[in-house]
Amino acid sequence: MTSPADVQVVVLMGGLGTRLKEYTKECPKSLVKVCGKPFFDYQLDLLTAWGFKKFLFLIGYRADMIEEYYGDGSSRGISISYSYDGEKLLGTGGAVRRALDLLEDDFLLIYGDSFMDIDYAETLYRYQRGKEEGARALMSVLRNNNRFDKSNVVMDGGKLVLYDKKNATPDMDYIDYGVCMYEKSLFAAYGEDEAFDIAEIQHDLSVRGEMTAQIVTKRFYEIGSPASLAEFSEYVTKRFSENHPAVFVDRDGVINEIVWNDDIEQLDSPMKVSQFSFLPDVAEALRIFKEKGYYIFIVTNQPGAAKGKTDLKTLYDINTYMIDALAGEGVDIDDLFMCPHYPKELGLTKEKFLIKKCNCRKPEPGLIYRAMRKYSIDMSGSYMIGDSCSDVVAGSGVGLMTIFIGDLKCDLCKKLGDISPTYIAKDLFDAAQIVPQQR
């Protein structure tokens, strides 16, 4: 699979920021301070944490300030190139076309006034899969129901069938999220000084069935207005400045039912979306964690694709379905961290890149460390909750209190030796009664 280090990230940063003129008189939107730090630094830090190293900034208003601040990127361990707006403004599409000679054959495109915290490994994977099936672009989409702006995307069975920014229809309940991938050749078809909006390309691709999609479940933040800037400032304070306790929750057997697998004649993780079924009282249990003041992070080993039982796309689809269904119950999962790897080649998988020894497969603590790098977490007041020995070992190894799910599985605890769970609960709802209320 394509590595983030090999993918060029193109950033649209040329806007005037007229609705934010109180702040943009002296600097471009991307450099507006949020909690003492330029806004785009938050997104850039997120992308570099995923491993992206090659950036192209498309700049216009106060371009000199952006270039002076970010330079060539070497101080951050990345490379940054620049393309400049001319006297004639060409729109979002024209700005990308102007940089044609600097574009790589395939690139990721984002906006410099938005914070978009998604699984970028999934973005690259779905784009690659889409290209194999004839797509020329990818659009990330969020189930919107007109919450943040007018919905403009029709999804059908996980497929993007229409994007139309101008003409809304009743069956549009998704919105474009602001993260896309494109073939360079799409922009080469336009004239050098031709003004056009990227939405034109997106619409045409959707009509022709040449745009694949990544459904995301976490909302985006943008700073297009004073109100949205204040909203993002509040979010930043909570996420990066204040330590909050968290519950790290295993998935299979804790959140959802284990299912029967005829191929191996034993219980297994669900390998299809249709096999996924919540255990009783799970939504209520998660709601209690939220009400008590905890982050909720799902940390799950999912080696099904690495073992050849399914593919990685389906594993992503199952997780998306789960988080979307919980959101429908009023429960927002703060983040999900999945290990799709397996250390041994079983001769069945087509996705060989998943065969590897890693530090994210529990009982290794890599998934928990990923959460720690992204969020300000009070680890001393946090819990690992799971139904296997690997969950207890992973949590104990980083100093978490642990709750072992399954009061009828106590014989498994004997395998832990000197490590034993802090608590034992019969299910997730029972575990929710154990954790204390936070102030």
Is 4-235 CATH 3.40.50.300?
no
Is residue 250 within 8 A of residue 388, CB to CB? The reply is yes
* Residue-by-residue DSSP string for 201-252: HHHHHHHHT-EEEEEE-SPPEE-SSHHHHHHHHHHHIIIIIS-B-EEEE--B
The C-alpha atoms of residue 206 and residue 213 are separated, in whole angstroms, by 10
- Residue 28 CA, chain-centre distance (Å), reads 26
pLDDT string in tens for the chain (439-residue length): 789 999 999 999 977 666 777 777 888 999 999 999 999 999 999 999 999 999 999 999 899 999 999 999 999 999 999 999 887 889 999 999 999 999 999 999 999 999 999 999 999 999 999 999 999 999 999 998 667 678 899 999 889 999 999 998 888 999 999 999 999 999 999 998 999 999 999 999 999 999 999 999 999 999 888 899 999 999 999 898 889 999 999 999 999 999 987 776 678 899 999 999 999 999 999 999 999 999 999 999 999 999 999 999 999 999 999 999 999 999 999 999 999 999 998 888 889 999 999 999 999 999 999 999 999 999 999 999 999 989 999 999 999 999 999 865 555 656 666 788 999 999 999 999 999 997 6
Is residue 123 within 8 A of residue 108, CB to CB? The reply is yes
Task: Give the sign of the dihedral formed by CA 172, CA 174, CA 178, CA 180.
Answer: negative
The C-alpha atoms of residue 358 and residue 347 are separated, in whole angstroms, by 19
Residue 212 backbone class (left: φ over 0; alpha: ψ -120 to 50; beta: rest) = beta
Residue closest to 277 by CA, chosen among 318, 331, 338, 224: 318
Tell me, what DSSP letter sits at residue 279? P
Question: Per the CATH hierarchy, to which homologous superfamily does domain 243-434 belong?
Answer: HAD superfamily/HAD-like (3.40.50.1000)
Residues 141-158 pLDDT 10s: 999 866 767 889 999 988
pLDDT at residue 410, as a whole number: 56
Domain extents in the chain:
4-235, 243-434
pLDDT at residue 404, as a whole number: 94
pLDDT at residue 268, as a whole number: 86
What number of residues does the chain have?
439
pLDDT at residue 240, as a whole number: 87
Axis-axis angle for helices 198-208, 91-98 (nearest 10): 90
The C-alpha atoms of residue 67 and residue 256 are separated, in whole angstroms, by 49
pLDDT at residue 79, as a whole number: 98
Residues 220-243 pLDDT 10s: 999 888 899 999 999 999 898 889
